[in-house]
Amino acid sequence: MVSSFLAEALLRADHAKHGQTRPCLIMQEVNIQERTVLALSKYSCGNLVLLTTVSCSADESKSMDFERFVPLLGNNVKKAVLDCAKVLSNGEDGHRILIDSVVGAIEKLN
């Protein structure tokens, strides 16, 4: 909900500054350290995150508001949590899931 609130506020500010609606890319980090199938201890060292991304064209951005961002961003987080169940249980596939989330985010930025 906080991400949705911030996304809507940033889109409104961008529209006010530029006088038009522009495409947007929203990225969220999802902490999956304690959400893997074999949960890692909260005392383990390091961070384990997945990046989720949502992109909207300029036309889609016009109609985006808080009520539309909540399910859109929430569904991406739910997918990341489901993906994290595979991280430790699938070995190589788990590694691929983590790397693909970063690679996908970089490709969308380009």
10-residue block means of pLDDT along the chain (110 residues)? Answer: 87 91 86 69 72 84 84 86 68 67 77
| Selection from 4, 90, 102 nearest residue 49 by Cα | 102
The whole-number pLDDT of residue 38 equals 64
The whole-number pLDDT of residue 68 equals 85
Residue ranges covered by each domain of the chain: 2-109
Q: What angle do CA 70, 56, 64 make, to 5 degrees?
A: 45
The whole-number pLDDT of residue 18 equals 92
The H-assigned helical ranges of 2-91 are 2-18, 58-63, 66-89
Are 66 and 4 within 8 A, CB to CB? yes
Stated pTM of the model: 0.68
The whole-number pLDDT of residue 13 equals 92
18 φ, ψ (degrees, to nearest 5): -100, -10
Task: State how far the Cα of 108 lies from the Cα of 43, in Å rounded to an integer.
Answer: 33
Beta bridge partners of 30: 50
